[in-house]
Structure formats: C-alpha cells, structure tokens
A and B are shown apart, each in its own frame.
Chain A
Amino acid sequence: MTRRLVVVGASLSGLRAVEGARKAGFDGRITLIGAEEHLPYDRPPLSKAFLDGGAEVPFFRDESVLTGELDVELVLGTRATGLDVGQQVVRAGGWDVPYDGLVIATGATARTLPGAEELAGVHTLRTLDDALAVREALDARARTVVIGAGFIGSEVASGARKRGLPVTVVEAAPTPLVRAVGAMGAPCSALHLANGTDLRCGTAVVALEGEGRVERVRLADGSVIEADLVVVGAGAVAETRWLEGSGLRLDNGVVCDETLAAGPPGVYAAGDVARWYNPLFERHMRLEHWSSAAEQGAAAGAAAALPGTAKPYETVPYFWSDWYDTRIQFVGTPDSDEVSIALGDVESNRFVALYRSGDRLVGALALNKQREIMKFRALIARRASWSDALDFAAMRRELIPGGVR
C-alpha cells in the first residue's frame, strides 16, 4: 500500500512540509489542503513592500511545480472541519480524506473587533485578500487608523506614512510591544513619533462608527478620529477550532513534544498553530515567525511521511520588522530578569539590547544593527552565560569605534 501524507494548511509551513517530505525521499501520495483559494504565498511582504504598491503577489511556487515536480494533489479553497485520529481521516469540504501521516499547519487567524465585519473599510492584515484591500485603500489616500501598536499595525502605519498619509495608531496598553520585546517597547514606539505617526497609548477603542462604511473611531478618552481605513492589528489566535473534540491536546495551539508530534500515530503540527517543546529554552513555545514555520514544516513533513525518522527540533526564535527606515530584529525570548543596552545607543536608533534570565543570555533586540544580531543569536543557541555575552559585546564594541556606526 502506498503511504499517504496529508498536509492541512497551504501556507509557508504546509508548503515546506510537502517539500521536506519529498526531500527526505518520500515517494508516496501527498495531499495539500488549504482554506484559501490562492496558491501558497509568503506573508511577511504583505505588510511591508506589498503595501507600498508595485510589488507582485509573493506566490512561493507555480502551480506546475506543486503538481508536477512535487507531485501534490492540491485541494484549495477547502477548509478542514474535523479530524478523527482513530480512523485516521481529515474531514474537509464534506469529504473524508484518509491519511497515514498528517501535518497540521493551519496557522493562526487575526483577531478582530466586535462589529468590525459590519463596516466596510475595516480590515485585519493576515491574508493576501486583506493586503489587497488595505493597499487599495492606501492607493485611495485613506486617512488611516491602526488599532494595536504591534508589529503588523506598526508596519501598516509605516507604509501609510511613506505615502504621506495621516495615520493614528491606538494602543490600549500604556507601552506598546511589551509582550514582544519587553522593556524595549518604548524606543521602538518612539519611531512612530519621529516619523509623524500619531501614537495614542493607554486608551481603548470604544466604537467604530459610520453608515455602512467606517467614518470615525471613538476612543475611551473621549476623542474621535476621522478615518477611511481602519486596520485592526490585535494579534492572532492559533487556528484549532476544527480540531475541537479530536482528542488532540489544544492549549494556545496544538501541544506537541520536541519532535513536533501531537500524540496520535502519524500526527504532527508545524508553524503558528504548533505549541511545541523547545529543548533550548526547556519549555513549550508557540511562535508566529517565518523561520520557525519553515523549519518546523520541513521537519514535521519528513517525520509524518517517514515513520521512525522524527528528530527533536530546537531553535532560537527570530523575527524582523521594517518600520520607516529602521530594521528591527529580535532573537530569543523577551521573558527576562534584566535588559541591558550592550552596543550603540537608543538615541541614534542603532543599538543592541540583551536580555538576561537567571545567568543565561536569552534574547537580543537590534535596531539597525544587522551586523551584530546573528552573532548574539549564535550565543543564545550555544546557551551562553550572561557574563560571556557581556564579554562578547565588549569585544564587539572595541571593533566599532565609539560603539556607534
């Protein structure tokens, strides 16, 4: 009997699962099921270059590569609705799709606001369709309000400012990005002010108002902002609704061991939907980052396709974001006891901040320090001590006259 691999979720992680299985030598049948109509595409550009206009839709592969070279059955525009791990079938579009190996790569869904669906001009930014709608609104020179000063929201604000459009970012927390970069949220959000974005922190949105289409945003502090476009950047939730009742352990994602195995025979998870045990940090993590989604996809695809080949996956999380003319990069985890500027200085927008937990280096944030950040990622991967990290930073400072360049 030919073994069959089913991959649910046709974004980066799902695509890499297919490629990972083939690269590992799997010659059985592969079915790729995706909820969106589109061929797999890349998401990071959607809130960056794509919004500036001109950029093409960032599809990963031509259909002919998927169905030919990779020999995949594509089932797009079809949402998986259930999983039976006893019978080993995925329910999708009214069909039961049997599997021997399964990769769950359904990603995450953007959070929205109550009532947002009823008004035109209110969008999240997660999918290609979202990005097309937001770009069209920016093309029409929309007055823009971004709700949530996280990375996606900040990138949208940056894109709108590049076009010279008025933008307001509304953030409920007193300081933005606390969960993402800890104490360094303030220097990041200062970039908004320096680039003419109106940043309102510590105030909630009470209402989106308009006749059929959004016209204004009302805030808890009583102020009202006129808007043609509202982008809700309030994070994303692991897409596990279709797995309820399947017996899989669901807790902020599909809970997996260090090999990305979800428990039942042949079932693995990868990407934004997976909360797996990261041996490097000795705890479960769910990441919404490009690199881990790609790597986990490849690992889970090979493991699900070829029984007995699963290996532990560990990584130092890495994400990047482009705001105005600043490249922000973060490696590791912001959960820490101390944060210290190790290179450069905050005022110049060129610095590296290091994050300590116990006696270990666990994270590093860089603004416009592309040359330094991966060196600290390597230290974190080697489980470097805090004092080793500080010594290394001192050595790097010696290489850079004045510590700034």
Chain B
Amino acid sequence: MSLALTLMLILFAFFMLAGIPLSFSMLLSSAVYLIMTGKPLYLLAHRMFTGIDTTTLMAIPFFIMAAEFMVLSGTAERLLKFANVLVGRFRGGLAYVNVLASMLFGGCSGSAIADVAGLGILEIDMMEKGGYDRGFSTAVTITSSIQGPLIPPSIMMVLIGATTGVSIGALLIGSAIPGVLVGLSQMLVIFLIGRKKNFPKSNIILSPKQKLLALLDAFPFLLMPIIIIGGITGGFVTPTEASAVAVAYGLLLVFIYGRNKVKIKDFWKILYNTVIVAASILLLSGSSNIFGWILSTEKVPNLISNAVMGLSHNKYVFLILMNIFLLLWGMIMDSLPAILILSPVLFPIAMRFGIDPLHFGVIFGFNLIIGLITPPYGAALFTGTIISGLSMEKLTRNMLPFILSSILILILTTFIPEISMFLPRLFGLR
C-alpha cells in the first residue's frame, strides 16, 4: 500500500469518527490522495458526476416521495383498519394487527422510518387503548417496521443494485419472502409472549358489512404493491419507471381521498422533504464513486479478499463472518451510507467465494436493515424513542425477542439461498 493510500484511509476513519458528514469525509480524504499523488482535482468533480448520473438511482427520490404521498392520502388509517378485520379478533390481536399493518404498509413504502413515523404513532395509540403497555407497543411498532425496506418497494435494494450492478428488479422481488418471513416470525413471538402474559382479546365484533367496507376502503392502497411488483416482473417498466408510477398513483390517491384537507403547501413540503433526504444520499453516492475508484485503482478490494481467502476457503464460514461483521457495522452506521461504503469492497470478495450476487445482495441488505433497530445507533429505534418518549434501554429490552427472531430469519436466508432466489427465478429476473 502506498503512503498516499494509507494516509487517505487513516484520514477517512478519523474524519468519519470525528462526526464530519460521511460524504465529505470521503471527499476530503480522496482530495488529499489526489493532491499527494499529483492527480488533477477535476477527477473529484468528474467522478462525483459519474456516481450520480445514473437512471437507476432516480428510483430513490421517487420511492421516498411515493411514501410521503401514501401517508398524506391516509393509507395508514385504512390499512390499520383492514389489518384489524383480518387478525384483530385473536388473543393479542392488536399486536398482530400492528405487524400485519406494517407488512401491508411495507408494500407501499420502501423505508422503515416512514413506517415508524407515519403508521407508528397510530399503532402505539391503538395498542395502548387496547390495554398493552407502552414499552411493548412501541417495541412491536419499531421491530415490525423492518418489513418496510425488505418488502418491495425498497430504497435500500435500489441502492444495492445501483452500486453493484445486480438487477434491481431481482433484488426487490428477492427480498419479498424474507420480509414476509420476518413479519411471521414476529407474530410467532407475539403468540408465545401472549400466552405467557395473557394478552387481552378484543371483544368488538364487526358485522360482515363493516368488514367488506374495510376491505373496499383499503383496496386502492393494497393495489400499490401489485402495480409495482407487477410492473417490474411483467417487464412493462424498469424499476425507475415503476417508482415514478408509484408517485403518480400516490398522487391520484391524494386527489381522491384527501381532496378536502390537502393544500398546495403540502405538495411543496413533500418535494422539500424528499429533496433533503434524497440529495444527501445521492451526494454520498457521488462521493463514494471517487473514493471507490481510488480503492480499486490501488487494488484494495483484491488485498482484502486475499486476506479473507487466507483465513478460510469455505463460503459458509465467510457468510457467517459477514453476518456478524455487518450486524455490528449496522449498529453504528445508518444503512444507506453503509451500503455505499461497504459494497465496493465486499461484493468482489463474495464473488470470489462463488456466492450468487443476488443472494449476497439480499443478505447484505437484510443485515443492515436489522441495524436500523439495534442500539446504539438505529434510525428506526431512534425514531421510536422520539415518538414514544421512552428510553432506548427500555425499548431495547422489549424489542430483544423480536430482534432475535429477525436474526433467525436472516440465518435461514443465509443458508437457504432459495428463500431469496425463488421468486426472481420464477419471474425470470435472473
């Protein structure tokens, strides 16, 4: 390793830990490398441009915007009512409703934060009124939100596909089964805890007419995932176009259901909310392009994969190590930056171990998604503490069984490739 590269990596680690925004930590350390090796600074700008100028990345702002429209049009209330009709009548019913509503909402939105912040407040309120304690209600709300980025659409899977070249359609569809399994495993946990703690049963009996009405009310919203998945698997639209169609459909729903309450100002606010989140992620994508370019010209991924291959040639040993490493990494870093920083290094290694890129992409994303709910730094957990007002320690204690059940599904997905590969193969996406 050259001196310039060593210095760049040390500086990057320092800047990152010193709290400088990640994209600028990358740019700053890359600039030092370029100056030291006498390379022109225009590479900085040019590589950033290349890193952003990609059609596939456009799905990120669009999926963010679509989720905002879904919240504005009142999806959350309707899906919650519908989930109540389906599973509300069992012991611990409202906890199941919470998980199921997040599963359905996951089909409309690609982020866990939108789930906790949008749907979460209603879910916690509903469960507390139904006789559950606040800690448990919030714990279910936070942990069930990780279905959002697993069930398509998913901002995270779009980013993994855009940075690694794996088919985004295949990644989106491939993470659907793991997402549903996470929800089911969490329901199982509720079942087990509910028997021990004797959870309340709801005594409200709905008439068939009310049930039908709830279904009709929710139907246009349930159509959203079908439009997205159908559009991509049927080959009608690219994932990027599907994300724009999702925005258009969200807009339509706002016009139909929210005509009276929604003002022009709300649309401006949604554009603004989308811009501030999407710009920071895409800027990071640009800066990681120059950073990754330097790493690959210095053959760093090669060096690391040689080192890893020196440890073991067994692909399952590698995958176990990867899971542990990524779960720990996800504890301290948000998922989207983690994807941009780690994927240029980790994917080539996985290829050398002969792991299918699609399979690895799903595992990679899954690990970092669990990082959203694990302390000390979990974005969804953090949102949960804000909306519930409870401490991170108390929430973590309540969330522990759910986190463990999600990790169990992660292990299954790691060792049974069919869980993530079956659907993409069925639809001929790989």
- A, B from the same assembly: no
Q: Which residues of B contact A (CB under 8 A)?
A: none
